Structure 1
Amino acid sequence: MKYSERLGVIEPAQLQAVAERFDLGRVTDACPLAGGLFGQNLMLETTRGRFVLRGRPHGPAQLAKERRVASLIHERSSLPAPWPYRVSEDTAVFGWSYAVMPMLPGRSGQDLWSAAGEKQRVGLAGSCGRALAMLHEAGWATPGAYDDTIDDFVPVKDPEAWWLARLEAVRGQCRAVGALTVEDERFIDGVLEQNRAALREPFRPVLVHHDFKPGNLNFTKNGDSWEPSGVFDLFEAYIADPDEDLVRMLRIVETEEERRAFLSEYVGARGGLRAGAAERLELYALADWLVIWEYGRRNRVWFEGVAFIDSVRPHLAAARRVVS
């Protein structure tokens, strides 16, 4: 059966070989999992439970990094992560390495969000805020980036310079596909000049997901509310300023009430934001939008006939406004 464009055709005997490799019992069902851009996942149901098979990785470090991130969340956070996250580098079964992990309980946050009315979305936004606060319990001594040669995060000496280097890297990617005009570059420089000082405010480093949104969360019903029951899609994570993880959710939600519900629940669990939050969130929102802008323009899937400055201004204003 062909499960996705990326995974291709997989025979039942191959899935059973995976189950035997990890002592999962006999495979009784398998189906692709909805959501995500890349079609790497399928659900395996066996006589011992439900599992996720994640295959055909994007480069040799993807699965190892996700395993390390999952272990940190499992050890340091009250938010469940897919654990144990078991990786097989044996390419004999599929022609590529793969990982197997327990399927997290609950319902997809993306499904819940898509089906919800406005009142329900405000509640879900608050639940996402609680989920992020739980995730950010996973603290670290210093900011750091993942190094696949040691399978761990290595300290960054100058967090401000590191953030600026990451911003410059994505600007370079935008330039490479002709996605920024001279006027756009001047606009970006102006936002940096206006807000850069806020990056120097000290912070306690945490595990930053970097793609935190309903679609990467599961929830279980608890009375009238949905409570976080898991986080996944961990490849982009790093150790940094927790404020970085606020901006994608602030962009995805559609109303001020949803933004404030998300932030209120997060701050209520984590404590108040640091000085300079409005300026810092504007910078982080800019960096986040550049990632989305580059992807959409490079793959010609979004932003046809749209000007960068017109597209980014509402997100910067919303990020600043929610903490004003």
Structure 2
Amino acid sequence: MTTKIIFGSNKLGELNESIIEQMLERFHLGKFVSGERTNIGAMGQTMFIQSTKGEYVLKGNPLFPGQFEEERFYIENLAQKTMLALPTPYIIDFEEDLIGWSYVLMPRKKGTHLNEIQEQLLVEGERQIVTEVAKVLAVMHQWKTPIFGEYQPVSAEIQPFASSYFQWLKARILHWLEDAKKYSTITELDEQFTLDLIEQAKSAFDSLKEAEFVMGDFKVGNFVVDKIDGQWKVSGIFDFTNAYFADGSNDLVKMFLYYIEKEKQSLVHELFRVYVQLTQKNREQMKNRLTIHMLHQRVLDWGCFKAMGAVTWDDNLSFSEWVQPYIAVIKEL
């Protein structure tokens, strides 16, 4: 379920102090002090809660059946396998008597989102954070499985993709390129450009012998950083709703795009360099796969921005013209 694109969201709705007090009391988490809706991430599903025993995140009204069980599976396994700063314990209340839906309570991780401090960072701080991000991803991607697919909470098993991982990813890209025709012009040249890129990378995907954990939505909104003993560290990672098992390097793409948009391309190169050094992955094969991961993300972004009428680039550019500079960044790594 997590690998499906979710455009809508189940919001928290109206929550009063009495209901939150009962949620906290049910799990012996203290008395309610204050609460505020989050303004980033989790598709409107979360709010921060301060109690007499600590700070927590409430996540409610699941987007699909099994969302919370699936996320707990990933978080608990990563917590057992790594020392990453994860939101554990991840407490699920399956009872719907308080508000009409199940919900999660988890500890709030201390720190700040990178985009909130980016402009104040010195060069040394930027490099520290890039290195920490690379370390976090390298550690996550050490969790491996022979099955390329996603966890299904009903069967409590990893369900393989219906076809090979490469064919699944190819079909996904072509589907969203076709869907983009509803909102924009997609030419035959755009389609051929896309197909050529995909086929050129086939051998790099065929070289994958085992699947790695993929967070699926690793971006500045889903982790926080904090300065600890004078060094910047990733102090919290959250929102594993889009996780699955495939090619871990996909998790680099949204951070690449973040730095590209900030006109900090040198940090794209640094993130790639440190990640390759830590994982010892084949550099050229990884670059070939990253071109497709970048293509995939940009297809989704193109369709989304066109549908919303929120285009921020030259609207006269064709899809292939628009995406080529991003592909070039990968090829230059």
Task: Kindly indicate whether residue 136 of structure 2 is the aligned counterpart of residue 125 of structure 1.
Answer: no
Determine the structure 1 residue equivalent to 2:243.
237
Task: Kindly indicate whether residue 237 of structure 2 is the aligned counterpart of residue 226 of structure 1.
Answer: no
1:25-64 maps to which residues of 2 (within 5 A)?
A: 25-36=30-41, 38-64=43-69
Question: How far does residue 249 in structure 1 lie from its aligned partner after superposition?
Answer: 1.5
What is the total number of aligned residue pairs between the two structures?
A: 319
Distance in 2, matches of 1:79 and 1:273, equals: 25
Q: List runs of 5+ in structure 1 lacking aligned partners.
A: none
Select the residue among 305, 309, 331 that pairs with 1:320.
Answer: 331
1:205 to 1:134, Cα distance in 2 relative to 1, 3 A: same
1:113 to 1:179, Cα distance in 2 relative to 1, 3 A: farther
Determine the structure 1 residue equivalent to 2:305.
296
Instruction: Give aligned-pair identity as a percent.
Output: 25
Whether the aligned pair in 1 keeps the contact of 2:146 and 2:209 (CA below 8 Å) is: no
Select the residue among 92, 104, 115 that pairs with 1:99.
Answer: 104
Question: How far does residue 53 in structure 1 lie from its aligned partner after superposition?
Answer: 0.1
Computed over aligned residues only, the root mean square deviation of the Cα atoms, in angstroms, reads 2.5
Distance in 1, matches of 2:185 and 2:20, equals: 42
What amino acid sits opposite 2:168 in the alignment?
A: W
Q: List runs of 5+ in structure 2 lacking aligned partners.
A: 1-8
Question: How far does residue 234 in structure 1 lie from its aligned partner after superposition?
Answer: 0.9
Determine the structure 1 residue equivalent to 2:160.
155
Distance in 1, matches of 2:135 and 2:168, equals: 28
What amino acid sits opposite 2:322 in the alignment?
A: S
What amino acid sits opposite 2:290 in the alignment?
A: L
Whether the aligned pair in 2 keeps the contact of 1:19 and 1:25 (CA below 8 Å) is: yes
* TM-score of the two chains, using structure 2 as the length reference: 0.86
Question: How far does residue 117 in structure 1 lie from its aligned partner after superposition?
Answer: 5.1
Which shows bigger deviation, 140-149 or 280-289? Answer: 140-149
Q: Deviations over 1:10-38 (max 9, x none)?
A: 11001111112222111111112231272
* TM-score of the two chains, using structure 1 as the length reference: 0.88
Whether the aligned pair in 2 keeps the contact of 1:113 and 1:124 (CA below 8 Å) is: no
Which shows bigger deviation, 110-119 or 211-220? Answer: 110-119
Q: Deviations over 1:240-286 (max 9, x none)?
A: 11222222212221323211221222223222435422222111110
Task: Kindly indicate whether residue 197 of structure 2 is the aligned counterpart of residue 195 of structure 1.
Answer: no
Which shows bigger deviation, 73-82 or 13-22? Answer: 73-82
1:274 to 1:257, Cα distance in 2 relative to 1, 3 A: closer
Determine the structure 1 residue equivalent to 2:72.
67
1:153 to 1:111, Cα distance in 2 relative to 1, 3 A: farther
Determine the structure 2 residue equivalent to 1:248.
254
